[in-house]
């Protein structure tokens, strides 16, 4: 193992300060024990499956998915042309230093531990989390859950481990919410997935503190394909948070996750993402939840950074009275395209859904809202409310909104409202009169714009998000 290639920065006192933009932009020269090499062939898939010592059904699933991936054309329907710049032959599909995650930070290899210390993860774990999993490139480096939570029967571990230890629960729901063939990138993930989280919450158990996963890309030209599966049984509740960073490389990095949530009768899942990918990351993620009778699934999705993000968390409202919600905040800076949104598929009577999306475009940044609301025939009493607001900071910023709403039947109420605005000059002027710089005033205005949404986050995350917004706004005005 080589020593770190750059000077170590002190670990931040405040966890929020630990996860800022510049703090994510460093890399260690790690020696990988397992490396599938560049490019994707059947051998790559076999290599990954072999290293992970998987059961035959998983290899079979992967190989079938590989074929689906190869057969499926790139999405051209409405997708941005930038997708064509992804070179699948240059990407490295699996890198790890061994697949068994450690239970204490002391056991985690030094270089990886330092990465997470710089990002403030162990600090946050001590303070307010029920459990943490930290993934470094392809595998979890650390995974732990508080004893008191584990005692209640809650399972929280990496997908690699869970496939070995709980195949019966895993197999039942795996690929059921998002089929392999859903889109080209869900097929890619299904072929080469590694890492990600597995959570099972037994009936009636309400996990009071959030479980957290942290995804870190360290290597250049790397593709991270985590697979997350969360099953919350009848009447149970959980909040799961994920954070993501990657250093800046001159070459493109691909992050293509598949996240499946299953909320059984009257269960509640809250899934929070705060991502701050570097500007070279293609972030192409498929996320969907299945809400049974009376269940509630809420996605809180904050997208900062990346070169291109295409992500539309969805809820399939399968049981009567189910509720789905997506709260989405996107900040697109120069050279970035945040193509985000939500899908609400109503499939039972009296289901309700809410989408609130706020985007901010800075400089030449481009933000896009894309949404689907679908109410098929012969349902009764479904409701959807969608609100999209875009804030444009500079005269050459850009925003697009493309919702698609299909309603059948006469017993539903569906409403979509969107607006575009800019930060008012008077507001900036007044703040400057009170001694703030223009950038500070702009940060404050942007924070005000997203404030009502951020207020719904757990405290630590709202602090982090505000700080990320401040950093993004620095030097971006003019």
Partner 1 sequence: MSTSVSASPFTGLDAERFSMHLAQRSYLPAWWTAAKQEAWNEFTATPMPARNHENWRFANLGGLALDGFTVPEEHASLVPHLPNFPHAKEIIFSNRQVVGRTSLSRELAKQGVIFAPLDEALRDHPDLVRRYFQQHPVNLGSEKFIALNIAFTASGTFLYVPKGVKVDLPFVVQHTITGDKQSIFPHTIVALEDEAEATLVEFFVSGDKLAHLASGVNDLHAGQNAKLTYVGAQNWSHETLSFQANSLTAQRDARITCLNIHLGGRQARHESHSRLQGPGAHCDMLALTVAKENQEFDQRTLQSHQAPHTTSDLLYKNALLDKAKTIFSGLIVVDPDAQQTDAYQTNRNLLLSDEAESNSLPGLEIQANDVKCSHGATSGRVPEEQLFYLTSRGIDPKKAHELIVFGFFEEVLNKLENEHLHAVLSDLIQSKFKK
Q: Are strands 197-201 and 155-158 parallel, antiparallel or unpaired?
A: antiparallel
Question: In 70-130, at which residue ranges do the beta strands (DSSP E only) sit?
Answer: 95-96
* Residue number, 230 or 392, with CB nearest to partner 1: 392
| C-beta closer to partner 1: residue 238 or 330 | 330
- Least distance CB 351 / partner 1 (angstroms): 15
CB-nearer residue toward partner 1: 27 or 353: 353
Q: Which residue has the tokens 């009636």?
A: 204
In angstroms, give the least distance from the CB of 362 to partner 1: 10
Going by C-alpha positions, the residue among 240, 455, 208, 203 that lies closest to residue 329 is 455
Interface residue list for partner 1 (CB under 8 A): 76-78, 377-378, 390, 392-422
Q: Tell me how far apart the alpha carbons of residues 475 and 331 are, in angstroms, rounded to a whole number.
A: 15
What is the C-alpha end-to-end distance of the chain, expressed in Å? Answer: 45
User: In the complex, what is the shortest distance from the CB of residue 189 to partner 1, in angstroms, rounded to a whole number?
Assistant: 23
Residue 81, CB-side half-sphere exposure with 13 Å CA sphere: 0
Q: How far is the CB of 401 from partner 1 (least distance, A)?
A: 4
Query: C-alpha angle 257/263/265, rounded to 5°?
Result: 170
Q: Tell me the closest approach of the beta carbon of residue 228 to partner 1, in angstroms.
A: 30
Say if residues 261 and 273 touch (Cβ distance below 8 Å).
no
Toward partner 1, which CB reaches closer, 114 or 416? 416
Pick from 105, 76, 24, 48: which is nearest to 227 by CA?
A: 48
Residue closer to partner 1, measured from CB, 241 or 445? 445
Q: Residue 358: is it exposed, middle or buried by C-beta count within 10 angstroms (0-12/13-18/19+)?
A: buried
Taking the least distance from each CB to partner 1, the nearer of 78 and 475 is: 78
Tell me whether residue 76 or residue 432 sits nearer to partner 1 (CB atom). 76
Nearest distance from C-beta of residue 147 to partner 1, angstroms: 51
For partner 1, the closer of residues 67 and 421 by Cβ is 421
Nearer CB in complex with partner 1: 46/412? 412
| Tokens standing for residue 296 | 């509630």
**Least Cβ distance, residue 367 to partner 1 (angstroms):** 10
Residues 103, 55 contacting (CB under 8 angstroms)? no
**Torsional class of 106: left (φ above 0), alpha (ψ -120 to 50), beta (otherwise):** alpha
Rounded Cα distance, 462 and 469, in Å: 11
Name which of 6 and 417 has its Cβ closer to partner 1: 417
Spatial distance between the Cα atoms of 343 and 353, rounded to a whole number of angstroms: 10
Residue 291 tokens, joined = 């809400």
DSSP state of 99: S
Residue 165: closest CA among 245, 99, 90: 99
Residues for the chain: how many in total?
478
Q: For residues 90 and 422, which CB has a smaller minimum distance to partner 1 in the complex?
A: 422
Closest to 75 measured CA to CA, from 343, 375, 367, 308:
308
CB of 403 to partner 1, least distance (A): 6
Q: How far is the CB of 319 from partner 1 (least distance, A)?
A: 21
Q: How far is the CB of 334 from partner 1 (least distance, A)?
A: 14
Q: What are the backbone dihedrals phi and psi of residue 73, each rounded to the nearest 5 degrees, phi first?
A: -70, 160
Least distance (Å) between residue 469 CB and partner 1: 18
């Amino acid at each position: 193992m080589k020593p770190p290639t750059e000077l170590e920065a002190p670990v931040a006192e405040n966890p929020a300060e630990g996860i800022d933009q510049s703090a994510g932009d460093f890399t260690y020269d790690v020696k990988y024990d397992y490396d599938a090499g560049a490019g994707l062939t059947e051998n790559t898939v076999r290599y990954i499956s072999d290293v992970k010592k998987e059961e035959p059904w998983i290899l079979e699933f992967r190989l079938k998915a590989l074929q689906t991936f190869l057969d499926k054309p790139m999405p051209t329907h409405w997708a941005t042309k930038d997708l064509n710049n992804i070179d699948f032959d240059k990407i490295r599909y699996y890198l790890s230093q061994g697949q068994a995650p450690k239970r204490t930070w002391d056991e985690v290899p030094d270089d990886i531990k330092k990465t997470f210390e710089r990002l403030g993860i162990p600090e946050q774990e001590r303070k307010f989390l029920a459990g943490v999993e930290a993934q470094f490139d392809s595998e979890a480096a650390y995974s732990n859950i508080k004893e008191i939570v584990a005692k209640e029967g809650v399972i929280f571990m990496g997908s690699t481990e869970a496939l070995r230890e709980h195949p019966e629960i895993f197999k039942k729901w795996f690929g059921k919410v998002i089929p392999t063939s859903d889109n080209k990138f869900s097929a890619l993930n299904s072929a080469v997935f590694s890492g990600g989280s597995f959570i099972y919450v037994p009936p009636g158990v309400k996990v009071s503190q959030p479980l957290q996963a942290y995804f870190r890309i360290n290597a250049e030209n790397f593709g991270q394909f985590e697979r997350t599966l969360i099953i919350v049984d009848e009447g149970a509740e959980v909040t799961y948070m994920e954070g993501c960073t990657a250093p800046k490389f001159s070459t493109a990095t691909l992050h293509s996750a598949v996240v499946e949530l299953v909320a059984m009768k009257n269960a509640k899942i809250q899934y929070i993402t705060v991502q701050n990918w570097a500007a070279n990351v293609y972030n192409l993620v498929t996320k969907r939840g299945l809400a049974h009778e009376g269940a509630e699934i809420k996605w809180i999705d904050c997208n900062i950074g990346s070169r291109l993000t295409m992500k539309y968390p969805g809820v399939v409202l399968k049981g009567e009275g189910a509720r789905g919600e997506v709260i989405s905040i996107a900040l697109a800076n120069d050279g970035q395209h945040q193509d985000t949104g939500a899908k609400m598929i109503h499939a039972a009577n009296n289901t309700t859904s809410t989408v609130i999306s706020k985007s901010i475009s800075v400089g030449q940044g481009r933000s896009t809202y894309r949404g689907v609301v679908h109410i098929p025939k012969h349902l009764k009493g479904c409701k959807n409310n969608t609100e999209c607001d875009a804030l444009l900071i500079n005269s050459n910023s850009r925003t697009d909104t493309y919702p698609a709403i299909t309603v059948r039947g006469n017993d539903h109420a569906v409403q979509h409202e969107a607006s575009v605005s800019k930060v008012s000059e008077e507001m900036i002027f007044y703040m400057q009169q009170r001694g703030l710089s223009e950038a500070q005033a702009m940060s404050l205005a942007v924070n005000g714009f997203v404030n009502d949404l951020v207020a719904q986050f757990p405290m630590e995350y709202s602090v982090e998000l505000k700080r990320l917004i401040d950093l993004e706004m620095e030097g971006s005005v003019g």
